[in-house]
Amino acid sequence: MSRLIADTPAGMRPIVSAGIELLKPITWFAPMWAFGCGAISARYMAEPDRQTIWIVLAGIVLAGPLLCGASQVVNDWFDRHVDAINEPNRPIPSGRMPGRSALYLAIAWTALALAVAFALGPWVGLASALGCLLSFAYSAPPLRLKRNGWWGNAAVAFAYEGLAWFTGAAVVAGGLPDAEIVFVAYLYSIGAHGIMTLNDFKAIEGDVALGVRSLPVQYGARAAALIACFVMALPQLLVAILLAAWGAPLYGLAILVLLAGQAMLMRRFVADPRGRAPWYNATGTSLYVLGMMVAAFALGGIVGS
């Protein structure tokens, strides 16, 4: 990367660094993790061959730097007027991405992501195309789903968790994944809605001023925290029950143990949602995503048997 920047003309360096900032690498982890869970859940071969490994690695790049990165650029482009007020140092309002450069980056990055996705298979391509549509619906008028906490958080959760899991499984399966995998991915994407709500407690006043009806704005901080906890907990309970019914009771028990740990943390979170939302995001959410991996290994044994 340093060589690339060194070889870039001085006038272009701000655009290069601003473009990387727009792609927001810190946000790539969630879909990459979910993709990995999907790939593990469809592991039909105990020891995949080298070609499968390379395909999975390409899929991880697709889920994180390409698809997630594209969605971040799209969001910043359609938020540029709001950012000019609230975050004037962001790449677009600060002028580090001048004119329509960010829009062109969003279009080009989305096209590249879709090209890679369809190269990995039709189901991967279709799922990725749906994810791209959701990213535009989330940020762009007239839908701009982010204005409502129910719809906006659902779009992000479904794209980052459910679709990423599905594409990971589709890459390894070489086609449509088993119904058990699809259903578990769907359940974890529902739970991720609650995780998305955790990010809304830090901006209640700003959301009120801008007319964004996040769950904390609609119901108050405590009620929104209770809703988020319920939405996170119920799908995990259902996954544990399903795994036991499908012949993997020990994996189901492991998820229940992780859920019990989350429940203890949730009590502290609900007592002070605005102050402890970042803390719960770092603790309880970690147990949630660990449970996703447990479920993935369980499904890998179930569908492979």
List the domain boundaries for the chain.
Answer: 11-176, 178-305
Identify each DSSP E strand in 183-238 by its residue range: none
The whole-number pLDDT of residue 217 equals 95
pLDDT above 60 (res 136)? yes
Q: Which helix (H) or strand (E) holds 46?
A: none
Question: DSSP state, 65?
Answer: I
Gap between the terminal Cα atoms of the chain = 44
The whole-number pLDDT of residue 302 equals 84
Quick one: what percent of the chain has pLDDT higher than 90?
78
Predicted confidence band of residue 50 (pLDDT cuts 50, 70, 90): confident
Q: Please list, in sequence order, all residues whose beta carbon lies within 8 angstroms of the beta carbon of residue 2, skipping any fewer than 6 positions away.
A: none
Which CATH number applies to 11-176?
A: 1.10.357.140
Average pLDDT of the residues in 97-117:
95
Q: What is the mean pLDDT of the chain?
A: 91
pLDDT above 60 (res 45)? no
Per-residue model confidence as pLDDT tens digits over 237-283: 999 999 999 999 999 999 999 999 999 999 999 999 999 999 999 99
Q: What is the pTM of this model?
A: 0.90
Residue where the block lists tokens 């002028």: 95
